[in-house]
Amino acid sequence: MAAPSPRNRWRYGLTALACLPPASLTFEKALALVDKGAVPIDKRNHNARTLADGWDITLWRRLPNGGPKAFASVAVWRYDRRDQHDFRWRDDVLVLGFHAGFDDAPLQDAKAAGSCVEFLLGLGDVLQPDFMAVDLYDEFYARKGRDLTREVFAVNVFGPALAASLGDRLRGAPALRIEERAWGATVLRVADLASAASEPGMREKAAAALWPA
């Protein structure tokens, strides 16, 4: 089944949301995050300070094929600002959103979408959040205000503590692939395409295995 297109083309398509304690987004971690993108040297410290101080920034991802369009934008939004759609379900959780421009990650191009997903996972390696997921923006928006750590998306990154709490339920969950990241996180992939909506049966089975009724 093909992944659906975002309902609103003016919104971002491929999105990652990372959930972490607000205090863990230090200037040093924000600087490392900025370094993952192709940011001009004169804006490097400014962008990191801006993100650490509570504002939004844009990262520029270098595309592997180069050419006339050598970079793609990834908007980084802090969802603890009241002028943003608020995905938080508790005040002690910072949800950091990474939004790839719709035209920058065409879902019909598996190679391009896969490259963007790997870039987003690399940002997760810098942040080391409690939980991170990659899917279409619409999939997150449909679950606005709910505990994201108890939902299943196309790609799900469980930090070491959360992975340990799930134990064998995570290791044995139905999935296309289960992988480990170098920092101790476990990645549960239920869809090769950019949205779990393309594999609804797999998502439901994985959710039932992780959080049995």
What DSSP assignment string belongs to 52-84?
A: HTT--EEEEEEPTT-TT--EEEEEEEETTSTTS
Out of 27-36, 110-119, 162-171, least confident range: 110-119
For residue 196, how many other CB atoms are within 10 A of its CB? 27
How far apart CA 89 and CA 14 sit, in angstroms, is 22
Give me the pLDDT at residue 107, please: 67
What tens digit of pLDDT does each residue of 44-53 get? 899 999 999 9
Out of 17-21, 100-104, 130-134, 169-173, least confident range: 100-104
What DSSP assignment string belongs to 80-138?
A: TSTTS----SSTT-EEEEEEE-GGGS-TT-HHHHHHHHHHHHHHHHHH--SEEEEEEHH
Give the pLDDT band (50/70/90) at residue 9: very low
Give me the pLDDT at residue 11, please: 53
Arithmetic mean of pLDDT, 117-146: 93
Arithmetic mean of pLDDT, 71-88: 83
What tens digit of pLDDT does each residue of 174-191 get? 999 999 999 999 999 998
pLDDT of 10 over the 70 cut: no
What tens digit of pLDDT does each residue of 148-178 get? 999 999 999 999 999 999 999 999 999 999 9
How many angstroms from the chain centroid is the CA of residue 36?
15
| Tokens describing residue 57 | 């920034």
Give me the pLDDT at residue 29, please: 95
Arithmetic mean of pLDDT, 63-77: 76
